[in-house]
A and B are shown apart, each in its own frame.
Chain A
Amino acid sequence: MPLSYKSIAPLIVSGKNIFSKWLGYFGLGIGVLLLFVSMQMFVNIGQLLKENNPRKSGGYDFISISKTITNENMGKDNSFTNADLAKLKEQSTIAGVAPLISNKFRVRGTAGDIIPFSTDLFLESIDNNFIDTVPPTFTWEPGQTVVPVIFSSDFLEMYNVFAPAQGLPQLSAKTISSVNIILECSGPYGSQNFKGNIVALSDRINSLLVPQSFMNWSNLRFMKDTAVHASRVYIKTKDANDPKLISYLDQENYHLNKDKVKFSRVKSILQNIVSALGVFGILVIVLALMLFSFYLQLMIAKSKDNLRLLLTLGYSPKWLAKSVAKTWLPVYLTIIIVALIFTEILHLLFRQLSFVRAADLSYFPHWSVWITAIFLFALTIFITLNLVRKELVKII
């Protein structure tokens, strides 16, 4: 018989406490599974909510704030002053500020003959950098009778809800661009009709946006007004959930539409939950490895006489440690592979959930899960090998 662990295996008493051994396997399996699944879910949630959030672009959140209307300030001018805007810009949590400038003159919109629709409208303009969809046609120069308009997708959705009841046709995102709106602008200093052309839909800003050049020109033309009256301001921030930002806005009595950051909040809550689950998983792994360590120590203590004689006969402690540790290798490997399989199953089930767009998620677990699996395998082998070697040196 050649030299192998098989020849010395009968000399190593594996211990009668099968229960603690299986409890160790089970614990390690559960811990590893918890860790893998929480990592995968963390990635999944981040992926889904990132893709879903139109306010987020280039790592920034764009959120709108306004002054809170209270009984005290009701009826007063609650627009943002230049000083307010300057103060906002100074905040470290705010990367950019853009006021939404609204029209001072009257605007009436009709949709012509195709859709018998007529309503008072409001127009707003904002720095192009704050708009999520800016086509190259979104420009206006004095003399132009066609005004490009960016329409809120939420408004389109709302329109499509009440349109059938009003006997109006429902519109798709594509057909809305072919609808011509007549914008009847009037004020004390004159009136003029423009052709409104919807050039894009915005998920981020709930408004009817016109180019800034048109807004400045028309406010001057119809109202002789050059002052900036911004009742809404868009801020660009790294994290809309930053407690520092929230507390500053609260302190200044600015109102933040909580719905706007709901995604981010849900995401951060969910990610906190899965992170906690991951930490719990790590804790379980540590406990399971400790249980294994006790089991190994007990095994070596029980086989002490035989191991000592083997060492006396010339068996190398290194070889013995390696051989004993090797017997645990398939156990650890099986546990990790089974945990990976379960993680994949749970991941696939997650992909099947109704609110998940499966295309956003990869078919297999995230690479970080694979790296963790390899790391855990190496760690368990390293711990076992070192523990056995240390125990062997002790008994010599």
Chain B
Amino acid sequence: MQIQLREVIPDYIEKEKRIASQIWGQNISIKKGEHLHIVAPSGSGKTSLMHFIYGLRKDHSGSIFYDDTDIKNISIEKFSAFRQNKISIIFQDLRLFEDQTVKENIDIKRILEPYHKPEKIIEMTARLGIENKLNQLAKTCSYGEQQRIAIIRALMQPFDFLLLDEPYSHLDEANRKKAMELIYEECEKRNAAMVFADLKPLDFFKDEKVVYL
């Protein structure tokens, strides 16, 4: 599978920002196995881009293609199927079920299209240092902990594309490194593409292509 952006421009964006952008109004294609690091300051549309690709918002001109299909023509049901086994996301605003436990929050994604066994939840939470929070309600976890829950949840399914929207904003350096390693490993296992949006280039991406939004 590959994702193509064809002259995508958000409806709300100013002309100057659009001209300076390496993404808005451009033709970009992302293939399986590739890593795309998008760097941009706050308010420049990183989250909008992620939501456009994930099919949550349509307030843009141009087109986004999953292989040869314009996502505007994909039915709600078909989108569900893509989100179950082709494309996964870590939202900037995390989007957890606050009244569910950490384990339930992760498992609700896993059972949809199990890529990992339930034991993997324990293993991953242990790697990211939140294994003792498994039975705690999500709303009682710190923002940093919640960020790690969202990361593990996104890794529970099969995917060809992983969208990461500022996934480490509340993590310290050590936890950021652990999380990044885990994400890399999981993407490699699936030979999946990674679209990573953040405020500044990260050290982990030093060998990779960076585009400025």
> Which residues of A line the B interface, CB within 8 A?
1-3, 7-8, 10-11, 306, 309-319, 393, 396
Interface centre among A8, A309, A313, A318 (most CB of B within 10 A): A313
Name the distance in Å between A48's Cβ and chain B's nearest Cβ.
55
Among the listed A7, A309, A314, A317, which residue makes an inter-chain contact with B95, where contact means beta carbons less than 8 Å apart?
A309
Q: Point out the residues of chain A lying under 8 angstroms from B77, CB to CB.
A: 316-318
Cα distance A312–B93 in the bound complex, in angstroms: 13
Stretch from B5-13, B109-117, B162-170, B175-183 at the A interface: B109-117
Among the listed A10, A313, A393, which residue makes an inter-chain contact with B112, where contact means beta carbons less than 8 Å apart?
A313
Cα distance A10–B137 in the bound complex, in angstroms: 13
Considering only residues 106-132 of chain B, those with a C-beta below 8 Å from chain A are 107-109, 111-113, 118
Can you offer 10 A-B residue contacts whose CB atoms are under 8 A? A2-B111, A306-B97, A310-B108, A312-B56, A312-B83, A313-B108, A314-B109, A317-B76, A317-B80, A396-B76
Q: Point out the residues of chain A lying under 8 angstroms from B109, CB to CB.
A: 313-314
CB within 8 Å for A315 and B56 given contacts A10-B100, A11-B97, A11-B100: no
Nearest B-chain residue to A313, judged by Cβ: B109
CB within 8 Å for A314 and B80 given contacts A3-B112, A11-B97: yes
Cα distance A6–B77 in the bound complex, in angstroms: 21
Cα distance A2–B113 in the bound complex, in angstroms: 10
Cα distance A314–B107 in the bound complex, in angstroms: 13
The 5 closest A-B pairs by CB, nearest first: A314-B83, A316-B80, A314-B84, A3-B111, A314-B80
Name the distance in Å between A304's Cβ and chain B's nearest Cβ.
13
Does the CB pair A7–B111 fall under 8 Å? yes
CB within 8 Å for A314 and B157 given contacts A309-B95, A393-B76: yes
> Which residues of B line the A interface, CB within 8 A?
56, 76-77, 80-84, 95, 97, 99-100, 104, 107-109, 111-113, 118, 157
Nearest A-chain residue to B56, judged by Cβ: A312
Q: Point out the residues of chain B lying under 8 angstroms from A306, CB to CB.
A: 97
Does the CB pair B112–A315 fall under 8 Å? yes
Cα distance A43–B99 in the bound complex, in angstroms: 55
Cα distance A8–B111 in the bound complex, in angstroms: 11
Cα distance A392–B107 in the bound complex, in angstroms: 22
Does the CB pair B111–A1 fall under 8 Å? yes
Cα distance A317–B108 in the bound complex, in angstroms: 15
Name the distance in Å between B105's Cβ and chain A's nearest Cβ.
10
Interface of A is mostly: helix
Known: A312-B83, A313-B112, A316-B77. 20 other contacts (CB 8 A): A1-B107, A2-B111, A7-B107, A7-B111, A10-B99, A10-B104, A11-B100, A309-B97, A311-B76, A311-B80, A312-B56, A313-B108, A314-B83, A314-B112, A314-B157, A315-B112, A316-B80, A316-B81, A317-B80, A393-B76
Cα distance A313–B84 in the bound complex, in angstroms: 7
Nearest B-chain residue to A319, judged by Cβ: B80
Q: Point out the residues of chain B lying under 8 angstroms from A318, CB to CB.
A: 77
Nearest B-chain residue to A309, judged by Cβ: B95
Cα distance A8–B100 in the bound complex, in angstroms: 10
Q: Point out the residues of chain B lying under 8 angstroms from A309, CB to CB.
A: 95, 97
Among the listed B83, B99, B104, B118, which residue makes an inter-chain contact with A313, where contact means beta carbons less than 8 Å apart?
B83
Nearest B-chain residue to A8, judged by Cβ: B108
Cα distance A344–B83 in the bound complex, in angstroms: 51
Nearest A-chain residue to B51, judged by Cβ: A312
Cα distance A318–B157 in the bound complex, in angstroms: 20
Q: Point out the residues of chain A lying under 8 angstroms from B157, CB to CB.
A: 314
Nearest A-chain residue to B85, judged by Cβ: A314
Cα distance A80–B74 in the bound complex, in angstroms: 83
Cα distance A316–B78 in the bound complex, in angstroms: 8
Cα distance A162–B108 in the bound complex, in angstroms: 90
Cα distance A312–B83 in the bound complex, in angstroms: 8
Name the distance in Å between A153's Cβ and chain B's nearest Cβ.
73
Name the distance in Å between A16's Cβ and chain B's nearest Cβ.
15
Name the distance in Å between A8's Cβ and chain B's nearest Cβ.
7
Q: Point out the residues of chain B lying under 8 angstroms from A8, CB to CB.
A: 108
Q: Point out the residues of chain A lying under 8 angstroms from B95, CB to CB.
A: 309, 312
Q: Point out the residues of chain B lying under 8 angstroms from A393, CB to CB.
A: 76
Cα distance A3–B109 in the bound complex, in angstroms: 10
